[in-house]
A and B are shown apart, each in its own frame.
Chain A
Amino acid sequence: MAKDNQVLEEITSKEYEHGWNVDLETDSAPKGLSEDIVRFISARKNEPEWMLEWRLSAYRQWLKMTEPKWPNVTYPTINYQDIIYYSAPKQAAKPKNLEDIDPELLKTFEKLGISLTEQKRLTGVAVDAVIDSVSVATTFKSTLAEMGIIFCSFSEAVREHPELIKKYLGSVVPVNDNYFAALNSAVFSDGSFCYIPKGVRCPMELSTYFRINAANTGQFERTLIVADEGSYVSYLEGCTAPQRDENQLHAAVVEIFAMKDSHVKYSTVQNWYPGDKQGKGGIYNFVTKRALCAGDHSKVSWTQVETGSAITWKYPSCILKGDHSSGEFYSVAVTNNMQQADTGTKMIHIGKNTKSRIVSKGISAGKSQNSYRGQVHIMKRADNARNFSQCDSLLMGDQCGAHTFPYIDVENSSAKIEHEATTSKIGEDQIFYCQQRGIDEESAVALIVNGYAKEVLNQLPMEFAVEAQKLLALTLEGSVG
């Protein structure tokens, strides 16, 4: 017991690894939100008139909406007037290549372990890095351009490819979808845009890295992926934030539009600052992610590893509209200390012979609360729809909670739905077995948790899988007792 306590102490005193902040000169909007701020953001980004109108209409809708109260999380009321909605690292002009980029900024990325230059050479991952709302650099752009792939910051896309943006922006997540999506639509400052043309198989992993640096800022980025007929893309997203006492708001929107025969794979490793062990500070991660499988035989798979954030509120969903389309959701959500997570997915089956698969693994430790909330909806015309869901929860310590709220709505008699969920604690016999063979308790827990989450981790691209495994072990270090 004494050893357990010591171990527990070690982990609780563990500092957030990415908790530094770099002095970057920033160009920010004043605190608060009003039509003027929306105009300010739009003007700062040199946006065309139609974009401003779109933002303003979103803002007006947002004013009419109320914050959702149904998630199983508690937090003090957010003062939306106390947030800086736009903060950009100051730059003279848009950089042409990596050498032009502020060296301080490059250092930031190096610390994060995603040195742009490094990645460019070694892994061949094309990275679009977003710091405090503004897209800083996109690597490998020209290589991709040769294949007709557009991968650029959102503001660039608005300027260069307005016809695509006009067509697809808000087509999957409408402006008035929910409170935070509306807020994002009004004030989003940047993000990534990706278009894969017909029949192109994107040769490398595309990746965005998000980081909130400046104090009191909210990050509102927007990602739009359009996969044209028969194309394939694998997209990665990573997030970190420096350690701060105040809570910071992150309300992002990700839209995926998948056409006939296309396949999009979206992976996230989310490691926002979770707050300290008393629950002070940390990111509020209120994200709307949705994919529309518009064409027949299209496929979208979401994989997420959620270890950070004080509060996570996120349901990556698939609308399976095309016949034979399929959606997948693989998730590992780990909460420790005072973290709260309410996450899950929605699979809306509209087309015939649609398939979906949900694998969700929740791990709660400390005083955290971890909820799975999901919906599988088989619409009337969705003949022969098939769904398999599995959501397991693992509890460590007697002060945490695990909750499951699955909604299963079936309107078609040919549907086959299976759902199962289990909750248990780490098996003492399993730990004992490992210890007996000379593996210490700590490593045994890491081993068991990794095995437990393996089904999900296996879905991640190589480089991410390694990082994710390390993150898991780190977050849970010593939390058995």
Chain B
Amino acid sequence: MDLAVKNNLLENIAVPSDGTSAIRHQALYSLHSLGLPTSKTEEYKHTAISRLLEKNFQSLAVSTSKGNVVADTFRIQNLDAHVLVFINGEFDQAQSSFSTKELNIQPLAVALAERKEIVEKYFSKLADTKADAFVSLNTATWNNGLLIEIKNNVQVTKPILIHQINDASKSKIITASRNLILVGKSSEVSIIEKYDSIGEANFSTTVNEVFVAENAGLTYTLIQNDGGQRYQFNHTSIQQESNSRVNCFTLSLNGKAIRNNLQLSLDGEGIDSHMYGLYLLTGDTLADNHTVADHRKPNSISNELYKGVMDGNSKGVFNGKIYVRPQAQKTNAFQSNRNILLSDKATVNTKPQLEIWADDVKCSHGCTSGQLDEEALFYMQSRGISKDSARAFLLYAYAGEVIEKISNETLRNYIDNLVSERLHKNF
């Protein structure tokens, strides 16, 4: 079984030739030596994604068929944003709308060809191709994505929405996207990534490398509410310099299988990092969140809150690592993971992990798994609220703790409605 995965899916993987050919070939080599992860791979212990891929795909080579979707069907109502639409991994100029007044947006491939210093300084510097087979796969095969560059002292007023839509109505689709985001000193930006798909099984890998300079602020929101048959791998590495602020939101509401790697490297002092996650799973959805907060310098704060509800046959996996390096004295790092299981067929595997080499620190993690409060349910029922509604109310309040942290009002309302609708309908 394990060998089969290694052999079949990784055949015929072509490597495009461009300025990063050397890096691509290196990554392909890593991919073949690592092989796709199995249940023996510690980081994928509970996530049988390779088996799912093997069941649904013949090869993981990037597909070339074009798609035809109206992006507006999936848009976030009333959100005033720079919108960049990708259909089947191809940039769709007609459906996108953005201005380059405050920022520089260009296709990553073009940027890498024109500006060698970007390749040297930033490209493939954060996402480790030797550690994760899917990062290697993406690094070897990506064919779309953006460079988003914000100069120093720029407050980008509108959020940037990267909308990735796969149209697998005619054939199975495999895409690989790559984004490089550079946030200049004392600048501020909000980036939203949204995934949708129609049709049959499709698989996408995305690797984002983000550099946040001194005093800068970044809000990064990932919305995975894929009604279709998407299997997805998302890897985001963020490097923070001194006094920068990062807020990450990972909202996994739907899809076939989701694996998110979110890695924060706190490479400066006075940094403030927050990671929030919410996963509401039904059917046979699998959502796996692996996060890292790597404290490399003193005096920083990281805080993490991930909450999940699992119903049906769904499976939630959480792994949160906090590293505190020897130099990182006076670190404060907190992590909390809470889970509610609603069905006996649903499972949760969680592993909050602390690795600490500095002594003057305050670190803690907590995790729970349980069910809704019977008394609260009874109280509401005794006042004429049906059991289902009462359940939905309680779950909505439970999810609210994460949703209320979203600062953009339009976005918050959108998520709020999405969650409330789903809770009343599916749970």
Given contacts A395-B356, A415-B369, A410 and B362 within 8 Å (CB-CB): no
Interface of A is mostly: strand
Whether B342 lies near A413 (C-beta < 8 A) is: yes
Report B-chain residues with C-beta under 8 Å of the C-beta of A420.
Answer: 364-367
Whether A412 lies near B363 (C-beta < 8 A) is: no
Report A-chain residues with C-beta under 8 Å of the C-beta of B352.
Answer: 404, 406, 419, 421
Produce 1/0 per residue, A388-403, CB < 8 A to B. 0000010111111111
A416 at the interface (CB under 8 A from B): yes
The segment from B25-33, B125-133, B275-283, B343-351 found at the interface with A is: B343-351
Report B-chain residues with C-beta under 8 Å of the C-beta of A413.
Answer: 341-344, 346, 371
Given contacts A408-B350, A413-B343, A402 and B46 within 8 Å (CB-CB): no
A80 at the interface (CB under 8 A from B): no
B326 at the interface (CB under 8 A from A): yes
Report B-chain residues with C-beta under 8 Å of the C-beta of A398.
Answer: 326, 329, 358-360
Whether B346 lies near A404 (C-beta < 8 A) is: no
Whether B356 lies near A423 (C-beta < 8 A) is: yes
List A residues 421-447 near B (Cβ within 8 Å): 421-425
Query: What residue of chain B has the Cβ atom nearest to residue A417's Cβ?
Result: B369
Given contacts A410-B339, A412-B341, A422-B363, A399 and B371 within 8 Å (CB-CB): no
Contact of A419 among B343, B361, B367 (CB under 8 A): B367
Given contacts A393-B356, A401-B355, A425-B360, A410 and B366 within 8 Å (CB-CB): no
A380 at the interface (CB under 8 A from B): yes
Whether B365 lies near A400 (C-beta < 8 A) is: no
Report B-chain residues with C-beta under 8 Å of the C-beta of A400.
Answer: 357, 359
Given contacts A410-B339, A413-B371, A423-B363, A405 and B353 within 8 Å (CB-CB): yes
B370 at the interface (CB under 8 A from A): yes
Report A-chain residues with C-beta under 8 Å of the C-beta of B351.
Answer: 405-408
Bound state CA distance, A364 and B370, in angstroms? 33
Whether A402 lies near B347 (C-beta < 8 A) is: no
List A residues 222-254 near B (Cβ within 8 Å): none
Bound state CA distance, A380 and B313, in angstroms? 13
Report B-chain residues with C-beta under 8 Å of the C-beta of A396.
Answer: 359
| B contact residues, range | 35 or more
Report A-chain residues with C-beta under 8 Å of the C-beta of B358.
Answer: 395, 398
Whether B369 lies near A410 (C-beta < 8 A) is: yes
Bound state CA distance, A395 and B329, in angstroms? 12
Q: A-B contact count, CB below 8 Å? A: 113
Q: How many residues of A contact B (CB 8 A)?
A: 34
B354 at the interface (CB under 8 A from A): yes
Bound state CA distance, A398 and B366, in angstroms? 24
Report B-chain residues with C-beta under 8 Å of the C-beta of A415.
Answer: 341, 369-370
Query: What residue of chain A has the Cβ atom nearest to residue B317's Cβ?
Result: A409
Q: How far in angstroms is the closest Cβ of chain B from A387?
A: 9
Query: What residue of chain A has the Cβ atom nearest to residue B326's Cβ?
Result: A398
Whether B355 lies near A403 (C-beta < 8 A) is: yes
B7 at the interface (CB under 8 A from A): no
Contact of B357 among A401, A409, A416, A425 (CB under 8 A): A401
Report B-chain residues with C-beta under 8 Å of the C-beta of A418.
Answer: 366-368
B409 at the interface (CB under 8 A from A): no
Produce 1/0 per residue, A129-165, CB < 8 A to B. 0000000000000000000000000000000000000
Contact of B359 among A403, A412, A425 (CB under 8 A): A425
Whether A423 lies near B349 (C-beta < 8 A) is: no
A53 at the interface (CB under 8 A from B): no
Query: What residue of chain A has the Cβ atom nearest to residue B358's Cβ?
Result: A398
Whether B353 lies near A404 (C-beta < 8 A) is: yes
Report B-chain residues with C-beta under 8 Å of the C-beta of A15.
Answer: none
Whether B369 lies near A416 (C-beta < 8 A) is: yes
Report A-chain residues with C-beta under 8 Å of the C-beta of B42.
Answer: 70
Report A-chain residues with C-beta under 8 Å of the C-beta of B341.
Answer: 410, 412-413, 415
Q: How far in angstroms is the closest Cβ of chain A from B282?
A: 13
Report A-chain residues with C-beta under 8 Å of the C-beta of B370.
Answer: 415-417
Bound state CA distance, A105 and B370, in angstroms? 55
Contact of B362 among A399, A414, A417, A424 (CB under 8 A): A424
Given contacts A398-B360, A422-B363, A424-B362, A411 and B347 within 8 Å (CB-CB): yes
Query: What residue of chain B has the Cβ atom nearest to residue A397's Cβ?
Result: B359
Bound state CA distance, A100 and B266, in angstroms? 67
Tell which of B353, B354, B361, B371 has the most Cβ of chain A within 10 Å.
B354
Report A-chain residues with C-beta under 8 Å of the C-beta of B353.
Answer: 403-406
Report B-chain residues with C-beta under 8 Å of the C-beta of A395.
Answer: 356, 358-359, 361
Bound state CA distance, A140 and B329, in angstroms? 55
Report A-chain residues with C-beta under 8 Å of the C-beta of B347.
Answer: 409-411
Produce 1/0 per residue, B145-175, CB < 8 A to A. 0000000000000000000000000000000
List B residues 286-332 near A (Cβ within 8 Å): 326, 329
Q: How far in angstroms is the closest Cβ of chain A from B246?
A: 23
List A residues 157-215 near B (Cβ within 8 Å): none
Q: How far in angstroms is the closest Cβ of chain B from A169?
A: 30
Contact of B354 among A409, A412, A421, A425 (CB under 8 A): A421
Given contacts A70-B42, A423-B363, A402 and B368 within 8 Å (CB-CB): no
Bound state CA distance, A423 and B363, in angstroms? 5
Given contacts A380-B344, A403-B355, A416-B370, A421 and B365 within 8 Å (CB-CB): yes
Bound state CA distance, A398 and B298, in angstroms? 13
List B residues 11-59 near A (Cβ within 8 Å): 42, 46
Report A-chain residues with C-beta under 8 Å of the C-beta of B349.
Answer: 407-410
Q: How far in angstroms is the closest Cβ of chain B from A125?
A: 39
Q: How far in angstroms is the closest Cβ of chain B from A251?
A: 24
Whether A424 lies near B363 (C-beta < 8 A) is: yes
Report B-chain residues with C-beta under 8 Å of the C-beta of A405.
Answer: 351, 353
Bound state CA distance, A475 and B42, in angstroms? 34
Q: How far in angstroms is the closest Cβ of chain B from A244?
A: 30
Whether A399 lies near B364 (C-beta < 8 A) is: no
Query: What residue of chain B has the Cβ atom nearest to residue A409's Cβ?
Result: B349
Query: What residue of chain A has the Cβ atom nearest to residue B315's Cβ?
Result: A411
Whether B368 lies near A419 (C-beta < 8 A) is: yes
Bound state CA distance, A412 and B359, in angstroms? 38
Not counting A380-B344, A416-B370, a sample of 20 additional A-B residue pairs whose C-beta atoms are within 8 angstroms of each other reads A393-B356, A395-B358, A398-B358, A401-B356, A403-B356, A405-B353, A406-B351, A410-B348, A410-B369, A411-B344, A412-B344, A413-B342, A413-B343, A415-B341, A415-B370, A419-B368, A420-B365, A421-B354, A422-B363, A423-B363
**Which residues of B pack against A, CB within 8 Å?**
42, 46, 326, 329, 339, 341-344, 346-371
Query: What are 12 A-B pairs at a CB distance below 8 A?
Result: A399-B326, A403-B354, A408-B351, A413-B346, A415-B369, A415-B370, A417-B368, A420-B364, A421-B365, A423-B362, A423-B364, A424-B363
**Which residues of A pack against B, CB within 8 Å?**
70, 380, 393, 395-425
8 tightest A-B CB contacts, nearest first: A413-B341, A395-B359, A417-B369, A404-B354, A420-B366, A422-B364, A423-B363, A401-B357
